[in-house]
Amino acid sequence: MRVIDVHTHPVMFKAGLKPAEVRWLVAHGRSLGITRMVGLGDVLLHGRNFTAEQIVEVNDDSARVQRLAPDYFRFFCFLNPRLGERAVMREVERCVERHGFIGLKLEICNNARDACMRPVMQAARRWRLPVLQHSWSQTNLRQRSFHTDPADTALLARRHPDVAIIMAHLTGCGVRGVLEARGLPNLYVDTSGGLPEAGLVEFAVEHLGAERVLHGSDLPFRSAGVAIERIKGAKLTPAQQRMILHDNAARLLNLG
Amino acid sequence: MLIDVNAYLGWWPFGLVAEPTARQLVRVLAASGIDRAAVSHLGAVFAPEPMTANRRLFTACRRERSLAPVPIVNPLLADWREQLAECAAAGVRAVRLVPNYHNYRLKSRRLDPFMAATEAAGLRVVLSARLEDERHRYFALRIKPVAAAEIGAFLARFPRHHVLCTALTLNEVVELAPAHANFSADLSYAEHMAFADQLRGKVALARLMFGSLAPMISARAQAAKLAATSFTPAERRQIGERNARAFFRL
């Protein structure tokens, strides 16, 4: 079964940039059946409040990896919404038009409910890009001033129904995250992050439909093989598994 | 052959899967490539006194020979000697401690006679650092994991015991390993694309075992963890089977 992993960090803390490292990752992914990886950038390299120069550095590193294996990697443009409209628009334009990036990635610079998200969503609309928002339940973490809870990601999707949004980290969002995502057809959930909790993928499919669940691993923090077997081991039909592992991402991200 | 050192019977109230029977657990593990398992009963985590659940565990494991019982005991209860005696009489090879759920600290002096008694009875000790990810667990639960520093002090206090610590994170394993040679760790919580490389050279492979945390965590996914690593087939056999056999004398 072909697999598209929509949540990877091929470069993390500057590791993964060397051609040999890129070749190894491509071979590793292919050995697991992963035909394409969506890279999201070195998003923790400078903490949580990146300057414009640091954002450019991360995206240029991503572009370097994409150039080394263009048939395998496609990257999302990493952004710090707090830098303002001009910086956001400039970076999106640069990454889309120069590097061919295919989405926007948001981490923990701010909460997705913040007003500074408006230019990001304008950019998503203008360039027809999906937005992948790091999301994690804040019930226990209590970092909501900058860390997005699944309820915040759902609010973002509600405010911008014409933009495809991916709520990252199914395990971190949990049951509550899945329930928040109900009734929002522009909101997808990716299965990355955390231990492969039994029953959660099935719960997401039951409440959202298999067409709104995307396979992701969050490598290198997580094992790509473990993430795939989580889907293959779930009580789903082969058609549902195929949608999650490949077809949904292929359609949403135009990755044939 | 894959031996799981961190599997459970009983009901986990914070998850989405129904309580499995012993037969169902064996089937799930077998379908995931796991041939044998050291199993504890979750009822003993939550009950005021653990032995009722442990007796259910003994009965279940007598029927399913691929399951080896690892009863959960509470050394802070006044009947801890009776708990240990009943476990030893049931022929178990190890007992499990869940200090954060049973509301005691590893520095408790009450553990001195308990650890001496386990040694006298020839019982190994398994220590659960956590049973779930504290970052996104159900809001009603406020139980913290056992801190690595607390585990380190415990290991230093009982140097003659070789303790199996389950559900340590990769960082915790690497943090504890240089100073404490008297523990092994399962890999249920240790995960990273390159975790084999991160452990190699820092922790002797003889101290690593496979654990799944099934049925709360997908056994099939966990079983894939060793496969796509830089461990050689011989090293995988050592981690996945031989170390557990030696520890539990299976």
Query: Between A142 and B76, where is the model more confident?
Result: B76
For each of the domains in chain A, give its residue range(s) and CATH number, in order of start. 3-252 (3.20.20.140)
Q: Answer whether B145's CB lies under 8 Å from B133's CB.
A: no
pLDDT level of residue B137 (50, 70, 90 thresholds): confident
User: How much is the average pLDDT of B20-38?
Assistant: 97
pLDDT, tens digit, for every residue of B149-161?
999 999 999 999 9
Is A233 an 8 Å CB contact of chain B? yes
B127, pLDDT greater than 80: yes
Nearest by CB: A223 against B139, B193, B220: B193
pLDDT level of residue B248 (50, 70, 90 thresholds): very high
**What pLDDT, on the 0 to 100 scale, is given for residue B162?**
97
Q: Please choose, from the candidates A74, A96, A145, A139, the residue with its C-alpha nearest in 3D space to the C-alpha of residue A116.
A: A145
Q: Answer whether B195's CB lies under 8 Å from A219's CB.
A: no
**What pLDDT, on the 0 to 100 scale, is given for residue A82?**
97
Residues of chain A with pLDDT under 50: none
Mean confidence (pLDDT) of chain B: 96
**What pLDDT, on the 0 to 100 scale, is given for residue B220?**
97
User: How much is the average pLDDT of B39-68?
Assistant: 97
pLDDT level of residue B138 (50, 70, 90 thresholds): confident
**What pLDDT, on the 0 to 100 scale, is given for residue B229?**
86
**What pLDDT, on the 0 to 100 scale, is given for residue B136?**
84
**What pLDDT, on the 0 to 100 scale, is given for residue B142?**
83
CA angle (A89 as vertex; A85, A94 as ends), nearest 5 = 150
Q: Which residue has the tokens 């399962």?
A: B186
Domain count, chain B: 1
Q: Give whole-number Cα distances, B161 to B32, B149, B178, B207, in Å.
A: 32, 17, 17, 14
Is A132 an 8 Å CB contact of chain B? no
**What pLDDT, on the 0 to 100 scale, is given for residue A1?**
86
Range of the domain at B214: 3-248
Residue contacts between A and B (CB atoms, under 8 Å): 102
**What pLDDT, on the 0 to 100 scale, is given for residue A181?**
98
**What pLDDT, on the 0 to 100 scale, is given for residue B227?**
85
CB contact under 8 A, A195 and B189: yes
Is A145 an 8 Å CB contact of chain B? no
CB contact under 8 A, B139 and A139: yes
**What pLDDT, on the 0 to 100 scale, is given for residue A256?**
74
pLDDT level of residue B141 (50, 70, 90 thresholds): confident
**What pLDDT, on the 0 to 100 scale, is given for residue B191?**
87
Give the CATH number, domain containing residue B101: 3.20.20.140
Assigned token pair, A52: 């414009």
User: How much is the average pLDDT of B120-148?
Assistant: 92
